[in-house]
Amino acid sequence: MSSQPDPVTRAPGLETGPPSPEDLDAVAQQLGRVPRGILAVAYRCPSGHPAVVQTAPRLPDGTPFPTLYYLTCPRLASRIGTLEAEGRMKEMEARLADDPELAERYRFAHERYLAERDAIEPLATHPDVTAGGMPDRVKCLHVHVAHALAAGSGINPFGDEALDELGDWWRGADCAR
């Protein structure tokens, strides 16, 4: 599809350098556990807290972790869980078979995800595994929203759709509360 941008190896919102100790503390509070394998903050909520982090393709213990972008904002994660419970993933996945353009855009999101992850470290044991069911299924809207926020609008169609459906309500409050 010629209207799609070329895959890149770095998301536009990705911060350079490792996350600060304050960011790691904020993520631990958001998740309720010590975070593992965080390489950078990929997107911040308006209050300045991490909302999406980029994780290493392998956790510190060597375990493969194909989820490159991980959503940490509890306000956003909660509402996305509601969308999942309402059946959005099944609806989205059904459209892949009927809409070749959508399927091509989704495959592009998968290829970009792989390119970004492989630029850090290729996962030889999981070379074609991205996250969230890409490129043929829709398994986790949290992953797609994280990818859309980190990569920017227009890359992950299902992440963009979920964010459009949510509107801006989640952007107006402190996610750490």
Instruction: Write out pLDDT tens, residues 1-59.
Output: 434 444 445 566 677 778 999 999 999 999 999 999 999 999 998 888 899 999 999 99
Q: Indicate the average pLDDT of the chain.
A: 88
Q: In whole angstroms, give the CA distance from residue 34 to residue 120.
A: 22
Residue with tokens 């419970």: 85
Give the pLDDT mean for 57-71.
Answer: 92
- The predicted structure's pLDDT at residue 45: 86
Predicted structure pTM score: 0.88
Mean pLDDT of 108-128: 88
Q: Give the number of other CB atoms < 10 A from CB of residue 159.
A: 26
**Per residue, what are the HEC states of 21-79?**
HHHHHHHHHHHCCCCCCEEEEEEECCCCCEEEEEECCECCCCCECCCCEEECCHHHHHH
Is the pLDDT reported for residue 71 higher than 90?
yes
Is there a contact between 116 and 101 (Cβ–Cβ < 8 Å)?
A: no
Q: Where are the domains of the chain?
A: 21-169
Mean pLDDT of 140-149: 96
Distance CA 100, CA 114 (A): 21
